[in-house]
Structure 1
């Protein structure tokens, strides 16, 4: 589904990603973990087209999408939800989703008409129902709780029916109850099928609980790759990131 080959990116003299290779099979749920500064967000920025790679390839279903504009990468089938939600703060939840659906279709000129296209409404409500936002359809996005703003950001990533969903710290800033609800939502979306999920996450209890596979980045390189048990007991990962077994959330 999504394959990364020898991806490299530097900013001046700072190497953000160095020869990173990874494979995310169709319908898989994979976590990308590592210490701050390991290159995780840069990795997502490269995949989503926010920045171009210096070298290497990003293959989606065998097609090289390296360096394509982010809008084209979205059109090809990669959606992304951000650590800090990127919302249309003055629009309602429904308006935000309908606007996001229309813009790539070349209908953004109709945004000023408050989205009259009837065909966008069904898709907007389908996604809202998936994420439990249907009762918030008329709420101004900027007035949502932090947790609901994160859900709306995910909904915006899902609205065009992506093949791959990138989630950058989906539970960041949430309390225990919101965290559990969010991770249950993510897991349910993945279990439904037809969606490859890749998430950056610092909560190891969540990572070990739901991930099929885990990549560990350190200093811009892949330090380790494996399932939860393999990563939990990897000496290099323990030294670089997890700490001693007594210090982990395992």
Structure 2
């Protein structure tokens, strides 16, 4: 589905991405982790077309995305929800979703029509139900809770009908209970839509619980990749990112 080959990017004298090669099979659920400054967000910016790599290839269904605009990348089937939700604050949830769905259907003339086509209405309702936002459909986007704003941002990305969905720290800024409610919805979404989903996350309990594969970045390079169990026991990853507390917890499990 998505095959990243030998990706490099520098900003001035700082090499943010170093010869990164990663593969994301169709229908997979993959976590990208690493310490601050590891290059995780830069990697997302590169593969989504927001910035252009200095070298390397980004093959999506066999076609290279390098050089395409972020809009064209979306049209090819890759959408992204951001760490800070990007919403229509003056619109209700339903209006915002209708705008996104209608835009995707290239009916710009009727973007804010009071009476959208029935197909658009059905699609909006489907997404609201999938995200658990039906009861808040008439609430202004700006008045939603932080967690619901993040869900709406995911919904706006889903309106593009992506094959690959990128989630940049979907639980950032949430308390423990809200984090788990969010990640449960994300996991159900992945199961329901059979998407290829890639997410950046700092909460290791979440990463190890739901991901199929984990890729670890450090200083812009791939430090390790494997199953959650392989990563949580990888000494290089423990030393670079997970820390001594994690090491002690593993030792206690094995005692």
Partner of 2:18: 18
Q: Which string of whole-angstrom CA distances, capped at 9 and with x for unpartnered residues, describes residues 88-129 of structure 1? A: 111111111111122244333433434633321111111110
Which moved further from structure 2: 56-65 or 31-40?
56-65
Pairing 1:100–2:100 present: yes
Cα deviation, residue 227, structure 1: 0.8
Which moved further from structure 2: 192-201 or 147-156?
192-201
Partner of 1:82: 82
Cα deviation, residue 234, structure 1: 1.1
Partner of 1:185: 185
- Counterpart secondary structure, 2:111: helix
Unpaired runs of at least 5, structure 2: 251-255
Structure 2 distance, partners of 1:115, 1:155, is 21
Pairing 1:72–2:72 present: yes
Cα deviation, residue 192, structure 1: 2.4
CA contact (8 A) 1:78 1:164 kept: yes
Size of the aligned set, in residue pairs, is: 250
Partner of 2:234: 234
Structure 2 distance, partners of 1:193, 1:27, is 9
Q: 1:109 to 1:247 in 2, by over 3 A?
A: farther
Unpaired runs of at least 5, structure 1: none
Q: Give 1:91-170 correspondences, 5 Å limit.
A: 91-114=91-114, 116-170=116-170
Q: Which string of whole-angstrom CA distances, capped at 9 and with x for unpartnered residues, describes residues 32-78 of structure 1? A: 00000100001001111111111111111111112211111111111
RMSD: 1.6
Q: 1:113 to 1:58 in 2, by over 3 A?
A: same
Structure 2 distance, partners of 1:108, 1:87, is 18
TM-score, normalised to structure 1, is 0.95
